[in-house]
């Protein structure tokens, strides 16, 4: 293991704090950019850049609402292009376009830089800390089930993040999901659909808030799944580091080299 002249590592693979387990891992830049296109900020969540990701998600909801982009999409898909053009507020639509394109470009650029840092961190191979005790939280590396994490997020976005010890992100996701299902009347409409009131169920839905939901639930499932996979990888690496420090490398040779 290597570090700086002062004995401190230059690049960490992961860090456990009161916020949870933060880490760097190789990411496909195109996949990151795609999630930013699905919902600005989601690509940055995949890179562990939680503050800027949260800012971008808030900007997406605010700009989209003020510009009435989702309503325009509904009218466009229905063939009412003239009404779609009339309903959009060009002042906020311009800001929305800038946020959207910036999120895609910055997440792609950050993913490329992230992958370079991952390679350097792997070469440096600094010791991974497996345990953290704070005043309000206890976090640790453990084996996780990616399938369980995905199922939890499918049931209610944010629960998979809670399972992965990302408490702040879990609370943020669960709060916004509750806002979406409340303002879109999704659960009420689903109940009416079960009762057979198809026309009334459709009338209850509010498309502006409904259109946010597929990206949110999909992003939550994907993030929870890959986070569990990475936690498992970090757990294995930490185990290898610990056993090598405690017992050293094996010196027993069953067969000697000949010739």
pTM: 0.89
- The closest alpha carbon to 221, from 147, 165, 111, 168, belongs to 147
Helix (H) or strand (E) holding 22: strand 20-23
pLDDT at 58: 97
Share of the chain above pLDDT 90, in %: 66
What CA–CA distance (Å, rounded) separates 204 from 177?
A: 18
Average pLDDT, the chain: 90
pLDDT digits (tens, 9 = 90+) for 202-258: 899 999 999 999 999 999 999 999 999 999 999 999 999 888 888 877 666 666 665
Please measure the distance between the N-terminal and C-terminal CA atoms of the chain and give it in whole angstroms.
34
Q: Token pair of 216, please?
A: 């949110």
Q: Token pair of 217, please?
A: 């639930």
Mean pLDDT within 6-14: 77
pLDDT digits (tens, 9 = 90+) for 42-62: 999 999 999 999 999 999 999
pLDDT at 245: 86
pLDDT at 4: 54
Compute the 3-state secondary structure of the chain and give helix, strand, coil in percent, each to the nearest 5: 65, 5, 30
pLDDT at 213: 95
What CA–CA distance (Å, rounded) separates 189 from 179?
A: 15
């Amino acid at each position: 293991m290597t570090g700086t002249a002062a004995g401190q590592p230059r690049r960490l693979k992961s860090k456990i704090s009161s916020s949870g387990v933060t880490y760097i891992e190789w990411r496909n830049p195109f996949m990151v950019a795609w999630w930013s296109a699905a919902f600005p900020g989601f690509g940055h969540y995949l890179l562990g850049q939680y503050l800027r990701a949260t800012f971008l998600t808030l900007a997406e909801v605010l700009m989209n609402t003020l510009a009435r982009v989702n309503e325009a999409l509904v009218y466009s898909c229905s063939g009412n292009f003239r009404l779609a053009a009339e309903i959009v507020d060009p002042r906020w639509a311009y800001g929305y376009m800038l946020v959207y394109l910036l999120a895609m470009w910055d997440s792609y650029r950050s993913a490329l830089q992230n992958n370079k840092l991952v390679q350097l961190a792997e070469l440096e191979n600094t010791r991974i800390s497996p345990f953290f005790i704070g005043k309000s939280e206890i976090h640790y590396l453990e084996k996780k089930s990616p399938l369980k994490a995905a199922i939890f997020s499918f049931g209610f976005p944010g629960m998979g993040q809670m399972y992965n010890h990302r408490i702040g992100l879990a609370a943020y996701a669960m709060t916004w999901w509750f806002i979406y299902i409340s303002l879109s009347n999704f659960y009420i409409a689903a109940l009416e659909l079960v009762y057979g009131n198809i026309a009334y169920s459709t009338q209850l839905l509010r498309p502006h808030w409904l259109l946010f939901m597929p990206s949110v639930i999909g992003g939550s499932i994907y993030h929870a799944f890959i986070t569990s996979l990475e936690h498992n990888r970090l757990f294995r690496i930490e185990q290898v580091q610990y056993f090598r420090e405690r017992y050293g490398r094996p010196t027993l040779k069953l067969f000697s080299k000949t010739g």
